[in-house]
Amino acid sequence: MKGQKRKFPPEDVEVSDRSSLTWESQRQFVFSVSLSKYQRGQELPEPSLRRSVLIANTLRQISLEASGAASVEASPGSSPSELPAEEEESVFTGVPSARHQPAEAVINGHSALSTGSMVSSGYSSNCVTTAISSILSALDSTIDGSPQAAPRTPLRSLENLSRSPEGSAAWVKQGVRGYGGGSWEPQEECRVRDSNVEVMWSSYLSDLTVEDLFQDIDTSLLERDMGVLGLRGSGGGFPAGEDLLRYLPPFSPASHPFSLSLNQNLKCLPSFSSFSPMSSSSSSSSSLSLPPSSLFSGHNHAREGLDLEHLMEILVES
Amino acid sequence: MLGRMEAAARMWHVGMTSSLHIRVLTLIVDAICPPPRRAALCDRAVGLCVQPELLNEAMAGVAGGNDFQWCFSQVKGAIDEDVAEADIISTVEFNYSGELLATGDKGGRVVIFQHEQESKNRPHLRGEYNVYSTFQSHEPEFDYLKSLEIEEKINKIRWLPQQNAAHFLLSTNDKTIKLWKISERDKRAEGYNLKDEDGRLRDPFRISSLRVPVLMPMDLMVEASPRRIFANAHTYHINSISVNSDHETYLSADDLRINLWHLEITDRSFNIVDIKPANMEELTEVITAAECHPNQCNVFVYSSSKGTIRLCDMRAAALCDRHSKFFEEPEDPSSRSFFSEIISSISDVKFSHSGRYMMTRDYLSVKVWDLNMENRPVETYQVHEYLRSKLCSLYENDCIFDKFECCWNGSDSAIMTGSYNNFFRMFDRNTRRDITLEASRESSKPRATLKPRKVSTGGKRKKDEISVDSLDFNKKILHTAWHPKDNVIAVAATNNLYIFQDKIN
């Protein structure tokens, strides 16, 4: 404590007046400190459960107080301030899920971080970049960020895919569960992440669906390959675009800067020529035993049908 | 105990006969005085009975804390400034008689000190504690399934009541509990018939006569051997172990579960509390400490990170998820802050020796609860209230997550807990007086009396006071122990163990 300089020194005296600026700045300071603490804690190989729970509860309390305070302020300029509160809440539902297992929160942490930056830097101009980073952090699964959990049967993930009424959210639900090198999430964690991601989606991307993003992908290739491999999933009846995205493999932990992760993620969209046609009579189960490396080898091949620059333009213009 | 004393005090009035005075005084002294000193104090109190107003003075002088003085006795551990992480003491515990004092450290070692008898020519000094046994209790392990290293740090040591010549203790790290037997060997058999002195078998043809081994005295050797290993029962980190009053079972608690073990059975344990939610997303509270009742073998308590304590009765159900009593103090709305929940998290819970009360330690205070009253504590003591305005900084530097322990003295009349800057605090429950002392090398002259310390909160700092901003938050006293019978305390300051005694007048 001696001689430490803080970048954003808060008043040490607790300010009880909620409408004052000092309270607000204090609240934001505590929020950002809590967030970084939480993330750093999750990055440890074995986060302390008590500590994570306490920090998460503090974050939740701050978010709730923020939304309470925001609704009280009935000023014309209040809509931007309300939005960060909503985002904090919605983001925050993402936070507790990852508490209990090592290294799972970065996915939520990323989106939360981006929201944090939204809170402090204002909303309007950062909207799109934030939306992008949240999409990509959703793709950027850290499930296998640290080796953990018992190996699950490879069948499990695909078995759990269900027909999804929600459009865009389903994409992420399926996409996030990729083939991993033996590092499956237990089922409850999948559900948890899904619901968090759905919440994130609903608040950020109401007018931007996944279909829009991937409209220019030529899925004809996929359909052919899919037919060959007999990979129509157990549920059947998926729209083709979502099938494509089902096979997004998991990604390495996100320590990449924004642009790099964008490239990485888009590269990892499977290039379907890399699916070596197994025996056409193969059942779903045997085709699922495709080693992950076959997907990753598509990594370096041309991203057929995918123009990175074009995609970026679409995102930026919308 | 408090009730008895008050009742006795109320009985006192000047018109009583002197024999009645004596009986009342004895009752009072009995209630507040540790056994070894009762006789002497009784005499003193009786001598005062002609002036009943002096009775208070007599009472005040007895209870551990203030009117007698604490003085330095010993310090164990290395002096140099560079502290090896492995040497940091992580737990301190006296055994039931107080003869042995065990410490565990982050390197997985256990060191046991034994009390030497007072020497005849210096009766004013209590005996000293000297090293009795040192052994490596836990080694670092690697969990291959999760690719995680399991720390060897000893989280808790608990002694078993002594039943024969050997001593037994339980020591635990994050995942595994071990029962250690510490036994003395002071005789050796010599003159084996079939073996040489160095153990080699003798040539049978050389053996011409029979000789029976004779037990010869040897230098005392203290051996520690692991007798039971209780493993693989905890998914989360073990924070507490507690031996039951039946001396057959004990409980171990981690963040979400509490297990009941039999000391003889290592491959099975019963889960008696499980607060893990079906959906981990809903987890908002963890178990922070647990303890068995000292007299009732069916009762135990556990504390949570939300500042609540649950008392459970094992007779009610196999799984004690529903508490029998729920202790929680309503929050004071005026002191609410962002950190209210964190500072309410209970870091330690201890029953009084009598079993009537329990004490909980949260970040800023110690609370004494009457087991018969659930809605608020009967006593609250502020340990370092001056930190309340610094919570934001303490949150930043993680000090707010420090887990301080607390302990009772043998007669339950005083309580002790640690603070920062190597300060520790003692509270006398009868006189309501408190004292702050420091465990430092500077005040470590033999039999030097400890000077009370004070932290200045206002602008003006008096001489000898220390300001809040000058406190060293890296020097924290998390672990303290009080001798079960005498006024001897052991205070762990990072890698040093300080032993203080009261000055016998």
Is B281 near chain A, with CB under 8 Å? yes
Cβ within 8 Å of residue A179, ≥6 positions away:
A154, A157, A247, A249, A250, A290, A292, A295
| CB contact (8 A) between residue B389 and residue A62 | no
Classify strands B257-262 and B325-327 as parallel, antiparallel or unpaired: unpaired
- Report the residue count for chain A: 318
pLDDT at A173: 38
pLDDT at A23: 82
CA–CA min distance A96, chain B (Å): 5
pLDDT band at B185 (very low <50, low <70, confident <90, very high): very high
Can you list the positions of beta strands (E) in B256-356? 257-262, 265-274, 287-292, 299-304, 309-313, 325-327, 348-351
Least confident of A73-77, A292-296, B265-269, B472-476: A292-296
Is B399 near chain A, with CB under 8 Å? yes
In B367-503, where does DSSP find H-type helix?
391-396
Q: Are B490 and B498 in contact (CB under 8 A)?
A: yes
pLDDT at A46: 82
Cβ within 8 Å of residue B416, ≥6 positions away:
B406, B407, B409, B424, B425, B426, B427, B480, B482, B489
Give me the amino acid identity at B462: K
Q: Are B361 and B321 in contact (CB under 8 A)?
A: no
Interface predicted TM-score of the whole assembly (ipTM), two decimals: 0.83
CA–CA min distance A103, chain B (Å): 12
Helix (H) or strand (E) holding B482: strand B479-482
Q: What is the DSSP string of B398-420?
A: TGGG----EEE-TTSSEEEEE-B
| CB contact (8 A) between residue A30 and residue B395 | yes
Q: Which of residues 344-373 of B touch A (CB under 8 A)?
A: 345
- CA–CA gap between residue A230 and residue A228 (Å, rounded): 5
Cβ within 8 Å of residue B185, ≥6 positions away:
B218, B220, B221, B222, B223
Residue A234: pLDDT above 70?
no
Is A61 near chain B, with CB under 8 Å? yes
Share of chain B above pLDDT 70, in %: 85
Beta bridge partners of B92: B103
pLDDT at B193: 84
CA atoms within 13 A on the CB side of B347: 22
pLDDT band at B101 (very low <50, low <70, confident <90, very high): very high
pLDDT at B111: 97
Classify strands B414-418 and B423-428 as parallel, antiparallel or unpaired: antiparallel
In B, minimum Cα distance to A98 occurs at B281
**Mean pLDDT throughout A305-318?**
65
Of B487, B401, B502, B489, residue with least CA distance to B439: B489
Beta bridge partners of B455: B466
Is B395 near chain A, with CB under 8 Å? yes
Q: Which of residues 39-58 of A touch B (CB under 8 A)?
A: 45-46, 48-51, 53-54, 56-58
- CA–CA gap between residue A304 and residue B233 (Å, rounded): 52
Give me the amino acid identity at A161: L
Classify strands B265-274 and B240-243 as parallel, antiparallel or unpaired: unpaired
Q: Are B485 and B410 in contact (CB under 8 A)?
A: yes
CA–CA min distance A193, chain B (Å): 10
pLDDT in tens, B477-493: 999 999 999 999 999 99
CA–CA min distance B10, chain A (Å): 46
- CA–CA gap between residue A117 and residue A119 (Å, rounded): 5
CA angle B391, B421, A26 (to 5 degrees): 15
- CA–CA gap between residue B384 and residue B341 (Å, rounded): 17
pLDDT in tens, B493-502: 999 999 999 8
Largest CA distance in chain A: 72
What's the whole-model pTM score? Answer: 0.64
pLDDT at A70: 61
Question: What counts of helices (H) and strands (E) characterise chain B?
Answer: 6, 32
CA A87 to chain centre: 14
Around Cβ B57, how many Cβ atoms within 10 Å? 12
CA–CA min distance B335, chain A (Å): 9
pLDDT at B230: 97
In B, minimum Cα distance to A192 occurs at B281
The 3-class secondary structure across A239-303, one letter per residue, is CHHHHHHHCCCCCCCCCCCHHHHHHHHHHCCCCHHHCCCCCCCCCHHHHHCCCHHHHHHHCCCCC
CA–CA min distance B496, chain A (Å): 22
What order of strands is seen across the sheet that includes strand B70-76?
Answer: B70-76, B496-502, B488-493, B479-482
φ, ψ dihedrals at B255, nearest 5°:
-60, -30
| CB contact (8 A) between residue B148 and residue A46 | yes
Checking B274-279 for CB contacts under 8 A at 24+ apart, the result is B274/B319, B274/B321, B275/B321, B278/A188, B279/A188, B279/A191, B279/A192
pLDDT at A215: 60
Cβ within 8 Å of residue A227, ≥6 positions away:
none
**Mean pLDDT throughout B294-302?**
97
Beta bridge partners of B361: B348, B366
| CB contact (8 A) between residue A54 and residue B393 | no
pLDDT in tens, B52-95: 444 444 444 444 444 568 999 999 988 887 889 999 999 999 99
Query: CA dist A159 to A234, A252, A288, B162, Å?
Result: 7, 24, 11, 58
Residue B250: pLDDT above 80?
yes
pLDDT in tens, B110-165: 999 999 987 666 665 678 999 999 999 999 999 888 888 899 999 999 999 999 99
pLDDT band at A156 (very low <50, low <70, confident <90, very high): very low
- CA–CA gap between residue B255 and residue B403 (Å, rounded): 14
Q: Are A110 and A254 in contact (CB under 8 A)?
A: yes
Q: Give SS3 for B180.
A: strand
CA gyration radius for chain A?
Answer: 21
Is A12 near chain B, with CB under 8 Å? yes
Q: Are A174 and A161 in contact (CB under 8 A)?
A: yes
Query: From the candidates A37, A42, A46, which should be mutated to test the interface with B, based on the most B CB atoms within 10 A?
Result: A46
| CB contact (8 A) between residue B396 and residue A188 | no
| CB contact (8 A) between residue A12 and residue B392 | yes
| CB contact (8 A) between residue B283 and residue A100 | yes
φ, ψ dihedrals at A140, nearest 5°:
-80, 75
Contacts of A97 in chain B (CB under 8 A): 280-281
Is B227 near chain A, with CB under 8 Å? no
In B, minimum Cα distance to A24 occurs at B338
Contacts of B457 in chain A (CB under 8 A): none
